[in-house]
Chain A
Amino acid sequence: MATEIPSYITEDLPAKGFDPKMVSYLIHYAKPYRGRLLISLVMMLIASAASVAGPYLVKVALDGGLAGHSTSVLLMAVLLYLGAAVVQWIATYVRVNLMSRVAQSVVFDLRRDIFRHLQELSLSFFNHYSVGRVISRVMGDVSVLRDFLTWALLAVARDLFTLIGILAVMLSMDLRLSLLTFTVLPVMVVATVLFKKQAQDNYRKARAAISWVNSVLAENINGVRVVQSFSRQAYNYIRFRDVVNHLNLTLNLRAARLASVFFPTIDFLGNVALGLVVYLGGTAVFGEHITAGVLVAFILYINRFFDPIRDLSQRYDSFQSTMASGERIFDLLAVPVEVQDDPKAGDLPQLRGEIKFDHISFHYPDDEQPVLEDFNLHVLSGETVALVGRTGAGKSTVVKLLSRFHDPTAGSIFIDGRDLRRVTQASLRQQMGIVLQDPFLFSGTVKENIRFGKLNASDTEIQEAAQAVGAHEFIQRLYNGYDTPVEEGGGILSVGQRQLISFARALLADPRILILDEATSSVDTQTERIIQQALARLLKGRTSVVIAHRLSTVVNANRIVVIEDGRILEQGTHTELLAKQGPYFRLYSMRFEELPE
């Protein structure tokens, strides 16, 4: 097993620090809340001003009030300070409240938009974008943005404003002493730059390491049954502990060491500045002794002066990860929607169900290899057409194009003479029932899963649909009948049972066109016969396209179409095709040649 972080994880880490496009995206999302943002900004400035005023008022109290023996000055200073504290309290409350709300609203909007976008993306997108990645975009990365908006965005403004305010007050109190204090600044800048350089590099590596940890964890959980089947636990554990998780530990400890050196250094520089003020200010090197008030105010300001600087250097990390998360989110939002409703598209009326593939060619967006080439097929209303051919021949693609999961690269598909691209997807699929080989059930009860086909179906209708596909029997035997919950892990239902439920779901929708893509591959022979008998009745009056590897399923079709490499090799009824002794004949005889007697 690999002992280094796989390249696909490091590739996911963006190199850019600052991306103007990202900022414009963010602005777009913040725009609806600009009023509240503005109020927050003002509140932040007010709070900062109030906080900067504090030490100065202490100085007034000490020098004017106490040294000057004036109770009224003391009282005034204390009251002003109280006023400043109240103002700061209110302003901070309003700011935190508003900003958090704005951040939550932006997060809400972003999640809503990503979800809507996901609903429009083509299915092939999900082949290369796993559920785990989608979740980490919508949950993790969006949270990073939220934290940035809540804490970092305005904090930068506050830090800068506080710095400037403190500078101004200090300079006005004692010019030379202030300049003296600032002499430690160059040292601090150098220290910060050195630290950043090291930390930044380490930060990227640490991010890659934790992604690796998470992806290895996730895969081991998803594949836990295989892990146990092959007794891989000990091997996997040692690899996780000593390689994957350990790399993460090492990199994090390195980051901790860097931070442990940096922050005490900054604190020490603050103390140096303080020592300078005490010594040079106190011994009257500059010609006069400082007052107690000035000294105290300086001590307070030096503390507050270094805080924003420390803070700003921490913000940089947050800024970096925000840029990275933002980039991943907006990249996802920018994935083009392959199939879109034409603005002028109309709703399909009640269908007769005539289908025509007219010179269709198709290849997937990420693969130049054509799947269908100049494919022509005309299905009459009410006809049952079976598609036969080996895996990868293009059968499923035909069905996907018909459902308009993709648009053909050339040619047009017509239903009842209307080009698919000219009608809304919703009106098309509402009249179409699709049953797939991989029967996906949602968490919820059996009943709810069948009802997914027709949201307002009554319990009787649901039961009838289940009866029609031979699912009623086993559903009744479940411990809660139709109200038995379907669980993700699949403890209760076998694959065949799941196929039957999804079959019932499609029937309940009462579609004009029915598409069965290996819909009963895992169903036992008897149940399959029940379904076939039911099908004869169910397919009556509907147009249907059936894909099946089991030829017993296709023999009764009105027409069998044999597809190979994206082209139709031959078509006709079962008898006609057998008589031709072509590809269908060979497939069919292979199916039976091993049988007895």
Chain B
Amino acid sequence: MLKPLLRLTEFLYPYRYRIAASLVLLLGLTAAQMVFPAVIQKVIDQGLSSGDTHILVTSTLIILGLGLGSAVLSYGQRFLTEWVANHVAYDIRNRLFDHIQNLPFAYHDHISSGQLISRCIEDVRSIQVFTGQGVLEIVRIVLLSFAILVVLFTANAHLAWIALLPMIPMVIVTIQYGIRIERFYLAIDNALGELSSRLQENVTGAQVVRAFAREPYEIDRFDSANRTLFSARIATIGEWSKIMPTTTFLVTIGTLLILWFGGQMVLRGQLTLGELVAFNSYLLLLSMPAQNLGWLVNTAGEASAGVQRIMEILDRKPEIQSPPGAIHLPALQGRVEFRDVSFNYTAEKSQALHHIDLTVEPNQVVALIGPTGSGKTSLINLIPRFYDIQEGAILIDGYDVKQVDLTSLRRQIGIVLQTSLLFSTTIRENLAYGRPDASLDEIITAAKSAQAHEFILALPDGYETIVGERGVTLSGGQRQRIAIGRALLMDPRILILDDSTSSVDTQTEHQIQAALSRLMEGRTTFIIAQRLSTVRRADTILVMDQGRIVERGTHAVLLTQDGLYRQIYELQLRDQERFQEEMEHISGSGIYDSEPPDNEDQEASD
């Protein structure tokens, strides 16, 4: 438990002077606390018995003075501690935020976003509680115990031994509890993680669960996770409910021992009544901290687990970073070159790409086609360096992507992904995502080019309409067009389109295709598509299969080869031939001529 907590010092270091000041204040506060019992002793032994007004007045003034002094010290001390705790939490959140957003795709592929989010929220909170009240309380207990030990042993070593006897089991019990509880917290954390991922999956897959009438199955699984958590909690309760009253009980036993043995000493005249009371008061100073011991151990345990999990994230190096002294890319021509590139996602998985060699000249359009899972998306993801390759090199305008400044690279690449994620803010801000400083005119121009302007204007607040969970729900095609507009506004030299029309209907697809062909003009473009009508206009077509480029060339060249492309073509050609036959059939019957299919424009503007 201690080792992870020690790593907190890294976050505490910037505030060391404030922490030191807070400690000084705490020292003063403890000293003031130590004076009270001495004052009371004097009141009892000299004031009350003799009725000496002078002593009583002095004592009263001392009590008030100490009270006022303590209040001021306590104010400063509390505020400083909270100030540090809040700043530590603020710093950790900032670091997590920045670190996570810079971790590579490979990291995010394998971690559940729910887990990451709960670490940023829950774990930071438990650390904040610990660095605030927790650390304070520990220091206070140590200081106080030390001071009390000194005072008690100076006053009466014999009685001090007796009074402190119950403290020995208290220390043992607390340490044991601390050791045992760590295991329980681990179990609870696991159970909590399991429960929330059950929940997350169930909600995300709500439609599938219903479609297969699997609600009872899901309920069983959730119930069992819920029960595991319940048992883990109950197990800690067993420990916790023992430790909590025990510490209080042991302090009371101390008082009893003082009363009994000290009382006899008073009767024998070895001790004054005031001394006895003072002795007891000193011991009682420990009672509040003692009651808090259990809580403290819990807080430390939770914080320790929190630090461990947070450090797991922060210790993970963002492998994909601009190297020191990275070249800041100038405005690109758009030449893309793959030199014998091999790539796999992780060591244990089979290779995603094998020995890819590829040169694309500026402004060329490259289409990628091939079976599902053949490596098309893997290939294009390497151009903006979302992943690092194991072998070979990728060069943009002759610069190795590993040597250049990442921002200067990605700023010149526009990407439209297969599924278009929008942020829950206004449409305007979504469009300007890559260029927050873009003017409204620029944004509207981009939206128009993406064929999105008209439907945006039809929304309740136009460009200021908020999308997402609490806002307007857009259709897949609408989201896709905003994603295209977003990429267009970047005015990228290299454009990457990953099967961006698979989820839209034929008419919308037509509109998007129109937008895309405008988008592609004068840019190096990589486009993944299933449809040959999209692919055939490309300057180069890459046919991929099992991580290799199996054929390449123009449409005309590839048709002459008896390969995969031709097979795909023939499959689609069959449809085409059938279409032509059908058209001939219709025109043969004389209907075709009367109404030619020229309604595309009309359809598009519906």
Contact = CB atoms under 8 A, between A and B. Distances in A.
A227 B101 contact: yes
Given A92-B244, A237-B94, A526-B571, A268 B350 contact: no
Contacts of A58: 255, 259, 280
A426 interface: yes
A522 B201 CA distance: 22
B interface, by DSSP: helix, strand, loop or mixed?
helix
Nearest to A424: B213
Contact of A278 (B60, B70, B373): B60
Nearest to A307: B288
Nearest to A303: B284
Contact of A283 (B56, B230, B589): B56
Interface string A230-246: 11111111001100011
A437 B503 contact: yes
Interface in B242-290: 242, 244-246, 248-249, 252-253, 255-256, 259-260, 263-264, 266-267, 273-274, 276-277, 280-281, 284
B505 A217 contact: no
A388 B61 CA distance: 92
A104 B108 contact: no
A296 B194 CA distance: 54
Contact of A453 (B66, B212, B349): B212
A240 B600 contact: no
Contacts of A226: 417, 421, 423, 433
Interface string A568-597: 000000010011010001111111111111
A263 B276 CA distance: 30
A155 interface: no
Contacts of A362: none
Interface stretch (B141-149, B157-165, B217-225): B217-225
30 contacts: A74-B263, A74-B267, A82-B256, A93-B241, A104-B233, A128-B469, A214-B121, A222-B113, A229-B384, A229-B410, A236-B101, A249-B87, A256-B86, A259-B82, A264-B71, A271-B63, A271-B68, A274-B67, A275-B63, A299-B40, A443-B197, A455-B217, A477-B546, A491-B106, A505-B212, A522-B502, A523-B530, A551-B506, A555-B575, A578-B582
A292 interface: yes
A119 B78 contact: no
Interface residues of A, number: 184
B24 interface: no
Interface string A513-552: 0000010011111110100000000000000000001011
A426 B213 contact: yes
Given A104-B230, A493-B373, A494-B372, A139 B192 contact: yes
Nearest to A219: B423
A283 B53 contact: yes
Interface string A295-312: 110011000000000000
Contact of B273 (A292, A391, A479): A292
Contact of B59 (A256, A278, A292): A278
A491 B109 contact: yes
A367 B486 CA distance: 29
Given A100-B241, A279-B60, A260 B75 contact: yes
Interface string B322-344: 00000000000000000000000
Contact of A549 (B113, B214, B509): B509
Contacts of B111: 488-489
B76 to A, nearest CB: 8
Interface stretch (B1-9, B359-367, B390-398, B472-480): B472-480
Contact of A495 (B72, B418, B586): B418
A429 B213 contact: yes
A409 interface: no
A194 interface: no
Interface stretch (A30-38, A315-323, A368-376, A496-504): A496-504
Interface stretch (B172-180, B203-211, B297-305, B440-448): B203-211
